Chains A and B, each alone.
Chain A
Amino acid sequence: MSSRRSYLIRRVLHGFMALFIIATLLFFLFRLGLPDPTAALITEGLNPEERERIRASFGLDRPIWEQYFIYLANIVQGDFGYSFHYRAPVADIIWERLGNTMILMLPAIVLAYGVGAPLGAWLSWRRGSRADTSGIFVGLMFRSAPMFWTGMIAILIFGIGLGWLPTSGMRTLPYDASGFLDKIFTLDFLHHLILPALVVALYYLGSPLLIMRNTMLEVYGEDFIEMARAKGLPERRILYAHAARNALLPVVTQLAVTIGLAAGGQVVVEVVFSWPGLGREILNSVRTSDFPLAQASFLVMAAFVITLNLLVDILYTMLDPRVSFK
């Protein structure tokens, strides 16, 4: 067991190291990439002294190394700084936006994997059949179609044409929610969720479907399947209890990466459906040169991906005891 513990400690340390490197990269990329980080703060026709005063008020007149260490120290304390554009703490903005994003992405991903993985297993069982070819075709099609296109078609049909579903936002305004839970546990919210979640789910569906199908096909050739068959177990049981369990590993990896990246939101779907999520916010922050907000958003995304990768590694050790801890 001790090797397992040291393995985990090592992985966590690696995670922190990666975050530190990313934070550093982000800091310098934004400073070097933007000609004038105060562009967002400065309006036309401002004289140089006033400009200097504003720069000073955000600490931008200090040497870059000093700014860097202040930035690192602040991050450790969970302080992501102050948004230039909104004049508000970055953390507040990000947490709220992240919540909005996850409440769209999680149901969509659960739907995609909940349907995609079993469907892939089933297709592998029926490989070569018409169901198999059309299943692969549909999966690939939605995976390849640009999300804004699928989204706009969905809006055209269900929003404008049939008028069944709302086409933008998270709720029918002016509905005033008393809190996050109040915002999401309403029928109205579900009504708004359907279209964007479906579009995201259709997009993601292809991965678990294809991965599951292909891994299953490989697993079918393994000895233990032969063994199960020889024991006379029913085909259905072999499929789901024996083959599927083993084919699940790559799907789980893919799922974790997907959830991690989902933290950044699908910018496209958030824009098409005017969903007030983190992806849309990142886009805005880049547009307004609001780099405290942009760099913190990217850092949060990175933290998500790293954490979920870590979780996958832990899950692996549980799903497949043969995974070694080296």
Chain B
Amino acid sequence: MAVTRFNRTLLASAMGLAAASISAQALAQEPVASIDLMTTTESYDPIRYEAAFMIAERWEELGFEVNVQPTEFSTALERFYDQQDFDATILGWSGRTDRLDPQFFLSTLDSRQANPGGNNPGGYDNPEFDALFDQQSQAFDQDERQRLVMEMQELYKPDAPLVVLFHRDEVVAYNHEAFDGFEPMAGEGLYSEWGPMEATPVGERSTLRIGGPQEPDNLNPLASTSVWGWKWMRLYYDRLVRLSADVEPLPWAAEAVEQVDDTTVAVTLREGMTFHDGEAVTADDVAFTWNYYLDQDYSYFNSYLAALDNAEAVDERTVHFHLSEPSASFASISLSQIPILPEHIWSQIDDASTLSPDEVPTVGSGPFQHERFDRGEFMAISKFDDHFHADEIAVDGVEFIIYADMEGVYTGLQTGEIDVTAWRMEPGQISLAESEDHLTVVNVPDFGYFHMTYNLRRAPFDDRAVRRALTMASDRERMVNVLLDGRGEVGSSVIAPVNTFWHEAFIERFDFDMDAARAELEEAGYTWDEDGRLMR
């Protein structure tokens, strides 16, 4: 029998252990349950697919039996969220701007989200965590809330209910001979709502051209469920609050946001705002919009509306939001999500979800106004000169060219057809873009993440020591270096490092360490049989 160096150490430690405890207890031990590791198919996402095999290799080295199961994406989602039929699964959360507020990612560990369909399919259950979750979500004081959020991260991390594998950088590029002045936004890249407001023409053309392979599903503010619909719509709809590029809530259509009492938020509107059709924006429009969203029961925004009982116009420029319970994220996040709709148009529409594309109104009050949407080809908006922010905007409009894939987008960037990419470039294109004189390549860190979640209801994941050992045996540094070509960051907490205000940097890190993983298991009473299989 060929004995490798690894096997020798393993044998040595196993023999040492055996000598110490070759007793009735050891004889009664059984191999630990084998692990099905569910991931996406290679064609859907080669990175997650490869990551699963990298993990499996190390876990097997540790003595587990691991079966990697590449699964079609929607099946994986269903088995993970609805049926909770999995041992360990690699999936991801995208970094949507509103998730920069800690509320959402922390809720993925809330035991009340552990029912089928909820956001905590792993079933982590820690009453202390839940209690802190409620406290932070009601803490209006930012510093107090920050302290609670940090505490929550310190609390859950040693339990290792999941591994935040890595945050993948978004790599985008723009033509600096045509436009400059962009400030990338975490999770959004260059095509953020601020992009068109910050871009400054350097060349002759002052219409900014963005290119991407994704297009809105539709432009109905009560039916669109895609990020791409909202990325476009929020350029021509105003919100009361906009999140700055540093993700600070900035009063926008609101001149002031004040708390009247625990459950009442008062918003004072800016003076002199008009919709694109010339009608004034009033407190009635704002109150109407929010109540309309409540009535229409449009699920995409339900989480932002959950705390709201109703909105009430108190006078021409003041709206009171009556909440059912105190909510810290309402003023910062909810107010930044719901677009202000003109009451004189939408009050005529009974069921907004059934509007055909031609019937959908596109009148907003935003800094740009809607011009065109030719499905599969093109979208355009132009600057709205009567907007309060219009003087700060250097472009006279934005055109979005829709390509079939990133290959087309890159060719467009190369030939000068477009100025900015809306979506991350393919790995092969990055080095090409870097060698082009007219292009600037930008790495934007993401706060969304890929995670491996353990099903805590099942063996062996019901044992904290196993979870900790498996986490230590996941070589995430290598994933970032090899799979992401160094363009990303090893995950630590569900609140990403780039989210500096909420991220707790001083928590247990679980660096890759096979010896520590083995020690963790030994300490918890696990042994290995002569084949190196883990026994308990």
Contact = CB atoms under 8 A, between A and B. Distances in A.
Nearest to B412: A168
Contact of A167 (B75, B117, B377, B408): B408
B74 A41 contact: no
Contact of A272 (B218, B375, B407): B407
Interface residues of A, number: 48
Contact of A35 (B75, B223, B372, B380): B75
Contacts of B401: 168-169, 173
A174 B401 CA distance: 9
Contacts of B412: 167-168
B409 to A, nearest CB: 9
A295 to B, nearest CB: 16
B359 to A, nearest CB: 10
B84 to A, nearest CB: 12
A85 interface: yes
Interface of A: 34-36, 39, 41, 43-48, 50-51, 53-54, 57, 85-89, 93, 96-97, 152, 155, 159-160, 163, 167-171, 173-174, 176, 270-276, 280-281, 288-289
A159 B74 contact: no
A211 B519 CA distance: 72
Contacts, number: 114
B481 interface: no
A163 B75 contact: no
- Chain B contact residues: helix, strand, loop or mixed: mixed
Interface in B390-405: 399, 401-405
Nearest to B298: A50
Given A160-B411, A168-B403, A280-B404, A39 B77 contact: yes
Contacts of A89: 356
Contact of A88 (B119, B356, B380, B404): B356
Nearest to B79: A35
B303 A45 contact: yes
Contact of B408 (A47, A86, A168): A168
A281 B299 contact: no
Given A168-B403, A275-B404, A280 B376 contact: yes
Contacts of B414: 160
Interface residues of B, number: 46
Contact of A54 (B82, B299, B356, B377): B299
A35 B78 contact: yes
A181 to B, nearest CB: 16
Nearest to B76: A35
B43 to A, nearest CB: 11
Contact of A159 (B300, B380, B411): B411
18 contacts: A36-B82, A39-B78, A46-B117, A47-B117, A48-B115, A53-B297, A87-B217, A87-B218, A87-B356, A88-B218, A89-B356, A169-B378, A173-B399, A174-B399, A272-B407, A273-B404, A274-B403, A280-B404
Contacts of A51: 117
Nearest to B118: A47
B29 to A, nearest CB: 38
Nearest to B355: A87
Interface string B215-226: 001101001010
A36 B380 CA distance: 35
Contacts of B82: 36, 48
B357 A88 contact: yes
B111 to A, nearest CB: 15
Given A35-B75, A86-B357, A271-B405, A48 B411 contact: no
Given A47-B118, A173-B401, A35 B74 contact: yes
A69 B119 CA distance: 36
Contacts of B353: 57, 87
